[in-house]
Amino acid sequence: MLTLSKKIIVAIDGSPQSDKAAEEAVRMAALSGHKFKSQLFAVMVLPSMKTPSFTDFFPEKPATEMPGWQAKRDRIFYVVEKAATEAGVRVESLVVYGDPAEELILMAEEKNCDVIVVGSSGKGRVKRTLLGSVSTKISLHAHCSVYIVR
């Protein structure tokens, strides 16, 4: 790995696989050293909210406006933020709505990122075949390098 500044996106969802991916992304960012500071974006993608229709008199609030959201958010981002602080790496934590693969790829393009780090799905062969895997979709369609952590 070159010791140049990198822009790294890591997918966060609170699972053990995403925690491993977060630790690996922080390690990658820390390898750039003090002269070339890497930037880390920790991104959690929540499912899209359905569009309200005329039959919805009381549309649901987004997850980020529900009671207890801040505690849940802190718990999900805890591993990446703690590891980044200890390693002296800048981290920007973001929450977006949409399809996880599409949103991560789009954000990587917008921020001109060098690599997307994502945890392996952990799904079985049948579920992965039927539903697809976020890591597979990202690796097939991303414009930058993709690092899948197992």
Q: 26: domain CATH number?
A: 3.40.50.620
Residue 131 confidence (pLDDT) = 47
Q: Could you tell me if residue 106 is inside a domain?
A: yes
Q: Which pTM was predicted? A: 0.83
| Confidence (pLDDT) at 113 | 95
Are 99 and 141 in contact by the 8 Å Cβ rule? The answer is no
Number of residues that this document lists for the chain: 150
pLDDT at 130: 46
Please report whether residue 77 resides in a domain: yes
Q: Please give the C-alpha separations between residue 69 and each of 11, 95, 117, 130, in angstroms, as whole numbers.
A: 19, 12, 25, 31
Domain that holds residue 45: 7-49+62-149
Nearest to 138 by CA among 114, 113, 103, 112: 103
Q: Which pLDDT value is given to residue 2?
A: 52
Dihedral-angle region of residue 26 (phi above 0 means left; psi in -120 to 50 means alpha; beta otherwise): alpha
Note whether residue 2 is domain-resident.
no
In a domain, 67, yes or no: yes
With respect to residue 83, please indicate whether it lies within any of the assigned structural domains: yes
CA distances to 7, 44, 88, 121 from 78, in Å: 20, 12, 15, 20
State residue 150's pLDDT score: 87
Is residue 87 situated within a structural domain?
A: yes
In a domain? residue 1: no
pLDDT truncated to tens, each residue of the chain (150 aa)?
454 668 999 999 999 999 999 999 999 999 876 667 889 999 999 987 655 555 556 666 776 777 888 899 999 999 999 999 999 999 999 999 999 999 999 999 999 999 999 998 755 555 555 446 888 899 999 999 999 998
Instruction: Count structural domains, the chain.
Output: 1
Sign of CA dihedral 52, 56, 58, 64: negative
How is residue 95 written in tokens? 């929450």
Domain membership of residue 118 (yes or no) is yes
